[in-house]
Structure 1
Amino acid sequence: MLRRILAVPAGLIAGIICITIIEKIGHQMYPPPAGAGTGDMVAMKEYVAHAPFMALFFVIIAYAVAAFVSGFTASKVANNGKHTSAVVCGIIFLCITIYMMASLPTPIWFWIFGISVWGLVFAGSKLALKTK
């Protein structure tokens, strides 16, 4: 029972770490303006509206890796042979993603990929359930 309870936070933490690392790599290649990282939403909106394709695509890559790792981690920790913990992680991340996309002027392709990549929690979960 404790493993199933801890599986979701473990999956979320693993996903957050992935997102942070990959977005930092993206920010090294496509640095945002100084004000965008300090919580200044106006500066962040301006940056997203004019960001190059690859700057935004790094976020999608981060989401995809995070979805896979989150699903894998949650299912491994839960160790109950089900996708439930992975799905919960995916739903939480999906809600956060939709909120962020609604808050920022993201293009339609970002919405499509931003929502669909969270389905990769199933791939991560499936791999976790196959491996010992």
Structure 2
Amino acid sequence: MLRKILSVVAGIIAGSVIVGLVEWLGHYLYPLPAGMKSNDMEAMKEYIPNAPFMALFFVIIAYALGALAAGFVSTKIARDGKNIYAIICGIIFVIITIINLAMLPTPAWFWVLGILVWVLVLAGYKLALNKNRA
């Protein structure tokens, strides 16, 4: 039982680390305007509607890679071949994503992709299973 709980926690941590790293790369390649801080919600609300497409799309890429990592790590640690741990990670990340999306004026495509991309936890699950058989 402890292994199963730890698998979800590790999946959330792995996914979060990957999301953070890829978002950092996105901010490096598409920096915020001079003097603007990412924790200034009012400034972010003004910036997002005018942000370059790739600045926003990097967040979707981050979510996709985070989903793969969460699914992979949770499955590897659980070691029972069930996808429930990856699914739990995906549900938790979807909830966090919806909360984040509700705080900022993101476009409709961002909502759709931002939520759907978490299905990739199942691809991470499949990758972990394939590695087990090799």
Is this a same-fold pair by TM over 0.5? yes
Structure 1 residue 75, shift from structure 2 partner? 0.7
Which letter maps to 2:37?
Answer: A
- Give the match's secondary structure for 1:131: helix
Aligned residues: 131
Q: Which runs of 5+ in 1 are unaligned?
A: none
Aligned to 2:116: 116
The runs of at least 4 aligned residues of structure 1 exceeding 6 Å deviation read none
Cα distance, 1:27 vs. partner? 0.4
What's the counterpart of residue 67 of structure 1?
67
The match for 1:8 is: 8
Gaps of 5+ in 2: none
Q: What secondary structure sits across from 2:77 in the alignment? A: helix
Opposite residue 98 of structure 2, the aligned amino acid is I
Q: How does 1:16-95 map to 2 (within 5 A)?
A: 16-33=16-33, 34-37=35-38, 39-95=39-95
Superposition RMSD in Å: 1.1
TM-score (norm 1): 0.94
Deviation, 1:77, is 0.6
Aligned partners of 2:109, 2:85: CA distance in 1, in Å? 28
**TM-score (normalizing by structure 2):** 0.93
- Paired-residue identity, %: 56
